[in-house]
Structure 1
């Protein structure tokens, strides 16, 4: 499992998410509430989300 990383688009107030890539899934968590857990997306789900967000 890779380390958590924050978007370069994050603002200084910390209103963002962190992402880490695993073998089978990409995990996403709220930077301000790291202890609340994370969501996991399959590679296909994550790729679809990123494609949609870029549009």
Structure 2
């Protein structure tokens, strides 16, 4: 599946540091591309059917 490589690092940073803005998370995982981070954050609704990534306008 696309992006499985990044699942653990993203969840690790979110669990360790709490809510982060997009760029803060991106800085914490320097090798991830913007596309892969976006795809993974959009797909993280798999946990209990609720999204852990809240979008703000």
Q: TM-score range by the shorter chain?
A: 0.3 to 0.5
More helix by share: 2
Bigger Cα Rg: 1
Q: Which has the higher contact order (CA 8 A, sep 6+)?
A: 2
Q: From the two aligned structures, give the one with the greater strand fraction.
A: 1
